[in-house]
Amino acid sequence: MDPELYSQGDPFVQWKWLRANDPVHWHRPTELPGFWSLTRYHDIRTAYRDAETFSSAQGILLRPADHGADPGGGRTLALTDAPRHKQLRGLVDGWFAVRSVRALEAEMQGIAERVVNTALEQGSCDFVTDVAARIPLFVICRMMGVPESDWEHLYDLTSQAFAAGDPLTRRFAHLNILGYFETLQAEKAQKPGDDLVSVLATAEVEGERLSADDVILNCDNLLVGGTENTRIAAAGGMLALLEHPGQWQAVRDGHELLPSTVEEVLRWTSTATHIMRTAVRPTEIHGQRIEVGDKVVFWLPSANRDESVFTDPDTFDVHRTPNRHLSLGFGEHFCLGSMLARVELRLLYGELLRQGVHVELDGEPKLLDSIVVNGPESMPVRMKAA
């Protein structure tokens, strides 16, 4: 539970021990509520599928007890259970379907090319903020109907909200993001367009319009879900490829490896460190009694290094197949933007390959101090086209 473990230590040693010796481990309450830890792949996958026992509506991330309930509980796509979850998901599902993502692919390719070219012009840049952050943000802004003139403004706000070290800076930036969507959803409610915010601003669930607050919270959810983990995965994947140059060379030699490379990047980075559920009925896992109201935490990086599922799990291997990682969730709450994230990663790495870009570290990467997401916070690089 120490954020510095993820920036300076090795949590995989602890997770490996827990998988072998205490796969359903009780953490006593501290400033956080007490909770059960699941570290094995099959236990986490099974719990993901059992939405009738493990609820999302009371929050999906550990929060200090004195912070109270998550304000999005029961209101946003990520923090609802059936039947409301299915109703909310049905409003936006089509935008993230294979057909819709493929229809956007040419525009996404253009965004990737523009971002890479800008980084090449700079020569030296921060791969996290200057490359990895911009592609998913600009794509989700396009889908949400954010005017292109505002993309850089939201880029500045999300950079502060996701990566700034000062908690007050993060909170202020997040409030500004909510304020932005408050204005945008009001405009879209009056004059809807062909975009996600318009869908939410004019939607009805069970015969009632979504409240303005619910629209704003879901917009925030889509922005965060559509950018943060892809940003960290893209940067963490690039770092893994730089640390394993033979793997990057294999992809250069055979571009047909891009799809399996993307899957290995997702497994290896496992950027969502934990996901939480709350038990709404008693159950038992490996002899441990889970009571109603107990918090149960899924440690996804541990699941994705489970030696009972993955051969040589601590090896980064772009040839790995099958690769049934849990980085994008499972069951009812399988990541809405999973196809989008995969395409964004493929287009980014594909653009670097297409232009023959040489990337090398230009300083020491800094990893995030966080128990929520893990990966590079900053990664100075030099980029040069062939």
Please report, for the chain, the start and end positions of each structural domain, with discontinuous segments joined by +: 4-384
Dihedrals phi, psi of 212, to nearest 5 degrees: -60, -40
Dihedrals phi, psi of 130, to nearest 5 degrees: -90, -20
Residues, the chain, total?
386
- In angstroms, rounded to a whole number, what is the distance separating the alpha carbons of residues 7 and 35? 23
Instruction: Find the angle CA(323)-CA(229)-CA(246) to the nearest 5 degrees.
Output: 50
Determine the pLDDT at residue 306: 98
Q: Which residues contact 174 (CB under 8 A, 6 or more apart)?
A: 161, 220
Which residues does residue 383 pair with via DSSP β-bridges, in sequence order? 359
User: Against a cut of 0.85, is the pTM above it?
Assistant: yes
Tokens encoding 19: 């998988």
Tell me the residue ranges of DSSP E strands in the chain. Answer: 24-27, 35-38, 54-55, 124-126, 204-205, 208-209, 274-279, 283-285, 288-290, 295-299, 358-361, 366-367, 376-378, 380-384
Of 29, 232, 273, residue with least CA distance to 131: 232
Instruction: Find the angle CA(4)-CA(5)-CA(10) to the nearest 5 degrees.
Output: 145
Determine the pLDDT at residue 195: 96
Determine the pLDDT at residue 263: 98
Q: At what angle do helices 258-269 and 338-354 cross, to 10 degrees?
A: 120
Which residues does residue 205 pair with via DSSP β-bridges, in sequence order? 208
At 71, which amino acid appears? P
pLDDT in tens, 326-374: 999 999 999 999 999 999 999 999 999 999 999 999 999 999 999 999 9
Q: Are strands 124-126 and 380-384 parallel, antiparallel or unpaired?
A: antiparallel
User: Which residues of the chain register pLDDT less than 50?
Assistant: none
Q: What is the CA radius of gyration of the chain?
A: 20
Determine the pLDDT at residue 163: 64
Do residues 133 and 155 make contact, with C-beta atoms less than 8 angstroms apart?
Answer: yes
Q: What CATH class does 4-384 carry?
A: mainly alpha
Which residue matches tokens 């094995």?
A: 40
Residue 183 CA, chain-centre distance (Å), reads: 26
Do residues 380 and 367 make contact, with C-beta atoms less than 8 angstroms apart?
Answer: no
Provide the 3-class DSSP secondary structure of residue 151. Answer: helix
| Helices and strands per DSSP (H, E), number in the chain | 14, 14
